[in-house]
C-alpha cells in the first residue's frame, strides 16, 4: 500500500491517502490534548501505544460482527483503515458516572447505576462538543433517525463486547466515546475512530487507579506507563 498525501491533521492523529480509493492510513501522534485543546502535551510513545491498543479493540469488534474502519497494523504508529465520510457526532456510553457527567447530574464520581447511559454529542470544537439529542442531530442534517437508531444499537453492542473484554484484563470500562462514519465503498455505518485510553475511562479493578487520559487531565503523572500497562494486559487476554 503506497502512502499518499496528508488529507487530515487533527491534534492527535494524521490521515493519509493511499493508492487505493477506499483505504487511508491513520497515524497516531504523541500529542495529547484535553479540555477542548486548552491543555496540551507530548508523551513519547503514546502514539504507538494507542495505535496498538486501538488495533486490538477494533480487531476484536470486527471479529465479533461489529464493522469498524480498522483493517491492519502497518507500523509502530500507523494502521490501515477504510475510508469513511465523517459524521460529526460522538456517542458516549457510561457504565459508571465519571468526569463531567458527575457535575451534570450532581452525583459523586464513581457513582454506580444499574442501567447503561448513552449520550450524544455534536462534534464541534467551536461549541465545545455540546450534548444534544436525536432531534437536534436530525435538524442539523448530521444523520437520519434510522442512522441514529443504528448508532445507539451499535454503541450498546460495542459496550457489551468490550466491557467483559476489559474485565478479563482486570480493567473496568467506566465510559467510552464512539464515532461513526459512512464507509466510502459500501455506504455502511461503521465505527470510524480509535478506541483507546484517550477515548475511554479505564479503572484498574483491583486498585481503582485511573489508566486513561484522566492521568493527563488531572496531572496524575505516569501517563505512558499506564497506557503501556493497558496494552500489556490486553495482549495477555488476546494471547490466552
Query: CB of residue 197 vs ligand TYD: minimum separation in angstroms?
Result: 9
Question: CB-wise, 52 or 196, nearer to ligand TYD?
Answer: 196
| Strand order, beta sheet including 171-178 | 131-132, 112-122, 89-96, 171-178, 200-204
In 3D space, the residue among 159, 153, 189, 157 whose CA is nearest the CA of residue 177 turns out to be 159
Binding piece for ligand TYD, criterion CB under 6 A, among 10-18, 95-103, 134-142, 157-165:
95-103
Q: How far is CA 121 from the centre of its chain?
A: 14
Which position among 12, 78, 172, 175 is part of the footprint of ligand TYD (CB under 6 A)? Answer: 175
- The DSSP result for 23-59, as a single string, is EEEEEE-SEEEETTTTEEEE-TTHHHHHHHHHHHHHH
Q: Is 100 in the site for ligand TYD (CB under 6 A)?
A: yes
Outline where 87-188 has alpha helix (H).
Answer: 100-105, 134-139, 145-168
Tell me which residue has cell 457489551. Answer: 160
Q: Which of residues 24-63 bind ligand TYD (CB under 6 A)?
A: none
Question: CB-wise, 19 or 126, nearer to ligand TYD?
Answer: 126
Comparing every residue's Cβ against ligand TYD, the nearest one is 99
Cα–Cα distance, 95 to 203 (Å, whole number): 12
Q: Is 177 in the site for ligand TYD (CB under 6 A)?
A: yes
Which position among 82, 121, 210, 215 is part of the footprint of ligand TYD (CB under 6 A)? Answer: 121
Question: CB-wise, 101 or 154, nearer to ligand TYD?
Answer: 101
Question: CB-wise, 78 or 175, nearer to ligand TYD?
Answer: 175
In 3D space, the residue among 137, 26, 49 whose CA is nearest the CA of residue 91 turns out to be 137
Query: CB of residue 129 vs ligand TYD: minimum separation in angstroms?
Result: 5
Task: Please report, for residues 81, 168, 202, 234, 236, the alpha-carbon distance to residue 240 in angstroms, rounded to integers and kept in the order given.
Answer: 26, 10, 21, 10, 6
Query: CB of residue 221 vs ligand TYD: minimum separation in angstroms?
Result: 19
Per-residue x/- track, 129-148, ligand TYD (CB under 6 A) = x-------------------
Question: CB-wise, 56 or 93, nearer to ligand TYD?
Answer: 93
Query: CB of residue 97 vs ligand TYD: minimum separation in angstroms?
Result: 9
Q: Which of residues 183-202 bind ligand TYD (CB under 6 A)?
A: 199-201
Half-sphere exposure of 70 (CA within 13 A, CB side): 25
Percentage helix, strand, coil for the chain under 3-state DSSP, each rounded to 5: 30, 35, 35
Question: CB-wise, 31 or 74, nearer to ligand TYD?
Answer: 31
Binding site for ligand TYD (CB under 6 A): 90, 92, 99-101, 119, 121, 129, 175-177, 199-201
Amino acid at each position: 500500500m503506497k502512502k499518499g498525501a496528508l488529507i487530515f491533521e487533527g491534534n492527535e492523529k494524521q490521515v493519509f491517502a493511499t493508492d487505493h480509493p477506499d483505504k487511508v492510513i491513520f497515524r497516531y501522534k504523541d500529542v495529547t490534548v484535553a479540555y477542548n485543546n486548552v491543555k496540551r502535551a507530548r508523551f513519547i510513545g503514546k502514539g504507538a501505544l494507542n495505535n496498538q491498543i486501538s488495533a486490538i479493540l477494533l480487531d476484536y469488534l470486527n471479529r465479533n460482527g461489529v464493522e469498524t474502519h480498522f483493517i491492519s497494523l502497518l507500523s509502530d504508529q500507523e494502521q490501515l483503515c477504510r475510508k469513511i465520510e465523517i459524521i460529526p457526532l460522538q456517542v458516549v456510553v457510561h457504565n459508571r458516572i465519571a468526569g463531567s457527567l458527575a457535575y451534570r447530574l450532581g452525583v459523586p464520581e464513581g457513582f454506580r447505576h444499574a442501567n447503561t447511559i448513552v449520550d450524544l454529542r455534536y462534534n464541534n470544537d467551536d461549541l465545545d462538543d455540546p450534548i444534544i439529542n436525536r432531534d437536534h442531530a436530525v435538524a442539523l442534517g448530521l444523520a437520519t433517525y434510522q442512522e441514529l437508531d443504528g448508532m445507539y444499537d451499535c454503541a450498546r453492542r460495542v459496550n457489551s463486547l468490550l466491557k467483559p473484554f476489559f474485565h478479563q484484563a482486570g480493567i473496568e470500562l467506566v465510559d467510552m466515546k464512539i464515532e461513526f462514519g459512512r464507509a466510502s465503498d459500501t455506504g455502511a455505518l461503521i465505527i470510524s475512530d480509535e478506541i483507546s485510553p484517550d477515548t475511554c475511562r479505564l479503572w484498574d479493578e483491583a486498585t481503582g487507579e485511573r489508566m486513561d487520559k484522566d492521568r493527563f487531565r488531572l496531572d496524575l503523572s505516569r501517563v505512558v506507563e499506564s497506557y503501556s500497562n493497558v496494552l500489556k494486559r490486553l495482549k495477555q487476554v488476546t494471547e490466552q
